[in-house]
């Protein structure tokens, strides 16, 4: 049987897992052939995901392998046991909370700039947008001019308290 004795002199710090963040992903691409007037610049897509969760489970009695929390639930709202019961029996005492969020974004839709001139050559090269031999290159270099923007952005946050 787990004996619940509050330690008011030196309570342990709360244990909450730290959020994990995936590193940004960079995917450069380069076409095989480049028409005159173009300088190949990589296309970069960034995806970042953040997820933070807290697992909610009552602690187990090491002697029995079973939680004593259901039988101790009357202590959940007793002031002198509040902190201990929150740490040991969060599920039984209804003190669980879970938060998760994720954000996904890709590059904005802009035409590449010729590094020699500092200006995009896309408007001058617009006739290549419909040329099947240059379709991929024009999509990568001049997505705005060619009307091939596919930028997406979404964000989701969910918070549940029990």
| pLDDT at 97 (0 to 100) | 80
Query: Is residue 56 a contact partner of residue 96, using CB atoms and an 8 Å limit?
Result: yes
The predicted-structure confidence for 59-104, as pLDDT tens digits, reads as follows 999 999 999 999 999 999 999 999 999 999 999 999 998 666 565 5
| pLDDT at 44 (0 to 100) | 46
The predicted-structure confidence for 105-135, as pLDDT tens digits, reads as follows 555 899 999 989 999 999 999 999 999 999 9
Cα separation values, 30 from 45, 66, 90, 145, Å: 14, 59, 54, 19
| pLDDT at 57 (0 to 100) | 93
What count of other Cβ atoms lies within 10 Å of the Cβ of residue 40?
A: 15
Instruction: Choose between 12 and 64: higher pLDDT.
Output: 64
């Amino acid at each position: 049987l787990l004996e619940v004795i509050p330690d008011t002199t030196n309570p342990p710090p709360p244990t909450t897992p730290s959020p994990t963040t995936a590193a940004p992903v960079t995917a450069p691409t380069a076409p095989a052939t480049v028409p005159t007037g173009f300088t190949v610049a990589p296309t970069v897509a960034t995806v970042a995901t953040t997820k933070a969760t807290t697992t909610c489970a009552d602690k187990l009695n090491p002697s029995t392998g079973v939680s004593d929390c259901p039988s101790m639930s009357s202590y959940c709202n007793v002031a002198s046991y509040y902190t201990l019961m929150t740490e040991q029996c969060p599920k039984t005492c209804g003190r669980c909370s879970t938060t998760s969020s994720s954000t996904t974004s890709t590059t904005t839709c802009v035409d590449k700039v010729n590094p020699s001139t500092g200006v995009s050559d896309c408007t001058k090269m617009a006739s290549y947008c419909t040329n099947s031999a240059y379709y991929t290159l024009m999509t990568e270099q001049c997505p705005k001019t060619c009307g091939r923007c596919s930028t997406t952005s979404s964000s989701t946050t969910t918070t549940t308290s029990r």
